[in-house]
Amino acid sequence: MELNDIRAKIDAIDDELVSLFARRMDLALEVAKYKRQNGTPVLNKSREREIISRVTEQVPESLQGYTKVLFSTLFDLSRSYQNGLLTEMSPLATQIDQALKNTNEQFPSKAIVACQGVEGAYSQIACDKLFSLPSIMYFHRFDGVFRAVDKGLCRYGILPIENSSYGSVIEVYDLMKQYSFHIVRSIKLHVQHVLLAKPGSEMSQISEVFSHEQAIGQCSEFLKSLDVKVTICENTAMAAKIVAESDRMDVAAISSPSCRELYDLAVLSDSIQNTDGNFTRFICISKELEIYPGANRVSLMLSVPHRPGALYEVIAKFSALGVNLTKLESRPIPGKDFEFLFYLDLEASVYSEELIRLLCELSSAPEGIVFLGSYSEI
Q: What is the distance between the alpha carbons of residues 183 and 297, in angstroms, rounded to a whole number? A: 10
Q: What is the distance between the alpha carbons of residues 75 and 81, in angstroms, rounded to a whole number? A: 10
Q: What is the distance between the alpha carbons of residues 361 and 345, in angstroms, rounded to a whole number? A: 18
Angle at CA of residue 229, ends 224 and 233, nearest 5°: 105
Q: What is the distance between the alpha carbons of residues 366 and 368, in angstroms, rounded to a whole number? A: 6
CA dihedral of residues 314, 317, 323, 329 (deg, nearest 10): 0
Q: What is the distance between the alpha carbons of residues 282 and 293, in angstroms, rounded to a whole number? A: 20
CATH number 3.30.70.260 given to 294-378: yes
Instruction: Work out the number of other CB atoms within 10 angstroms of the CB of residue 289.
Output: 20
Strands (E), 304-358: 324-332, 340-347
For residue 342, give the nearest of 315, 374, 309, 319 by alpha carbon: 315
DSSP SS3 for 151:
coil
Q: What is the distance between the alpha carbons of residues 261 and 154, in angstroms, rounded to a whole number? A: 29
pLDDT number for residue 86 = 65
pLDDT number for residue 361 = 82
Total count of residues recorded for the chain: 378
pLDDT number for residue 326 = 93
Q: Which helix (H) or strand (E) holds 6?
A: helix 3-38
For residue 311, give the nearest of 329, 324, 334 by alpha carbon: 329
In terms of CATH, what superfamily is 3-86? Chorismate mutase (1.20.59.10)
pLDDT number for residue 58 = 96
Domain range summary for the chain, segments of one domain joined by +:
3-86, 194-269, 294-378
pLDDT number for residue 91 = 87
Instruction: Work out the number of other CB atoms within 10 angstroms of the CB of residue 102.
Output: 11
Tens-level pLDDT at each residue, the chain (378 residues): 889 989 999 999 999 999 999 999 999 888 888 887 887 777 778 888 999 999 999 999 999 999 998 998 888 888 777 776 666 567 888 999 999 999 999 999 999 999 999 999 999 999 999 999 999 999 999 999 999 999 999 999 999 999 998 889 989 988 988 999 999 999 999 999 999 999 999 999 999 999 999 999 999 999 999 999 999 999 999 999 999 999 999 999 999 999 999 999 999 999 999 999 999 999 999 999 999 999 999 999 998 877 777 888 888 888 888 899 999 998 887 777 767 889 999 999 999 988 998 898 888 776 778 999 999 998
DSSP-assigned beta bridge partners for residue 371? 300
Q: Which CATH architecture has domain 194-269?
A: 3-Layer(aba) Sandwich (3.40)
pLDDT number for residue 310 = 81
* Cβ(171)–Cβ(126) below 8 Å: no
